Amino acid sequence: MSPERSNESREVKAIKVGGIEIDPPIMLAPMASLTTPSMRTVCENMGCPFTFTEMVSVDGLVRRPQKLLKFIVPSFNVARPYGVQLVGRKKEEMAEAAKIAVDAGVSVIDLNMGCPAGKVVSGGNGAALMKNPVVAGHIVEGVVRAVGDRVTVTVKMRIGWDENSLNAPEIAKIAESAGARWITVHGRTRGKFCSGPVNYSEIARVVDAVRIPVLGNGGIVDGESMDRMLDETGCAGVMIAQGALGNPWIFRELRAKLKGEEHTFKVTLNDRRYMMLKHFELYMREGRDVARAVREMRKHLGWYSKGVYGGASFRRKIFRLTDHEDVVHHIEALGAVEKCLSSESVGSRQKAGDQLDRKKVNSTQE
CA distance 149 to 210: 21
CA distance 12 to 266: 25
Whether the CB-CB separation of 238 and 209 falls below 8 Å is answered with no
Q: For residue 186, which amino acid is it? A: H
CA distance 152 to 179: 9
Which residues are catalytically annotated? 115
Burial of 326 (C-beta count, 10 Å sphere; 0-12/13-18/19+): middle
Q: Which is it for strands 20-22 and 15-17: parallel, antiparallel or unpaired?
A: antiparallel
Contacts of 297 (CB under 8 A, 6+ apart): 279, 280, 283, 327
DSSP string, 99-112: HHHHHHT-SEEEEE
CA distance 338 to 238: 34
